[in-house]
Amino acid sequence: MSQTLLQVKDLKVAYGGIHAVKGINLEIKQGELVALIGANGAGKTTTLKTLIGMVKPSDGEIMFNGKSTAKLHAYDYVRHGLVLVPEGRGIFSRLTVEENLQMGAYVRDDKAEVAADLERVYGLFPRLKERYKQLAGTLSGGEQQMVAIGRAMMSRPKLLLLDEPSMGLAPIIVQKIFEIIRMIAAEGVTMLLVEQNAKLALQTANRGYVMESGHVTLADSAANLLANEAIQKAYLGE
């Protein structure tokens, strides 16, 4: 039985009077790839932002590696291995590919290992190695997503949170990004994957949670969710 890495208990998040997350429970074990699906506005992004301390909960508890994250400072999260690849990627468009990747390692002082990790990231993304000197803003959308994921990998995440990595990408590029997600999972990195493309997300994940207007309405194995008729109708276009 593997260890629980993340435990979210009765989490509530509000923006002023808007209750975006209304008391959710989530659990992720070491090594799992978990999908979080749901319609626009369900509260998925808010959940991810709360997990990395960008948004403060109004109630509930987040335990990471058995410890509450309530007292962590913004700059502690990456150091603890909680890393978000945000919706829209958030890369530095005026920096080169390699400079962007280096930014992911800014909390680390183990220079030799950072250099080794850079090679490892280039191994995952040969395309980025070819373009290491190119300004990130001039890359295609798929390449920019690779930079965003590669940058997160440079911080040696323990839990990698991905917000809509396939958003706005052509189908063939989406396949490529999911191939990379599978490779990262195979390296043992635990992931929470938020995706509009629910089918592909559930085909890739071990387990999934379904969010509807701030609530988790279903939690099951990815296989069961894929076979669930209500889920098929609502999210899988079947």
Contacts to ligand ADP by CB under 6 A:
15, 18, 20, 38, 40-46
Q: Which of 97, 114, 124, 237 minimizes the C-alpha distance to 182?
A: 124
Q: Which residues contact 119 (CB under 8 A, 6 or more apart)?
A: none
Indicate which of ligand ADP, Mg ion, none lies near residue 20 (CB less than 5 to 8 Å, by partner kind).
Answer: ligand ADP
How far apart are CB 87 and ligand ADP at their closest, in Å? 7
- What are residue 222's phi and psi, to 5 degrees? -60, -40
How far apart CA 36 and CA 58 sit, in angstroms, is 21
Identity at 42, one-letter amino acid code? A
Indicate which of Mg ion, ligand ADP, none lies near residue 18 (CB less than 5 to 8 Å, by partner kind).
Answer: ligand ADP
Residue 36 or 128 with smaller CB distance to ligand ADP: 36
Indicate which of Mg ion, ligand ADP, none lies near residue 106 (CB less than 5 to 8 Å, by partner kind).
Answer: none
How far apart are CB 134 and Mg ion at their closest, in Å? 28
Residue 45 or 69 with smaller CB distance to ligand ADP: 45
Are the CB atoms for 121 and 153 separated by under 8 Å? yes
How far apart CA 198 and CA 55 sit, in angstroms, is 25
How far apart are CB 21 and ligand ADP at their closest, in Å? 7
- Answer for which of 32, 35, 45, 50 binds Mg ion (CB under 5 A) is 45
How far apart are CB 55 and Mg ion at their closest, in Å? 12
Classify strands 59-64 and 4-15 as parallel, antiparallel or unpaired.
Answer: antiparallel
Are the CB atoms for 179 and 124 separated by under 8 Å? no
How far apart are CB 196 and Mg ion at their closest, in Å? 9
Residues that bind Mg ion (CB under 5 A): 44-45
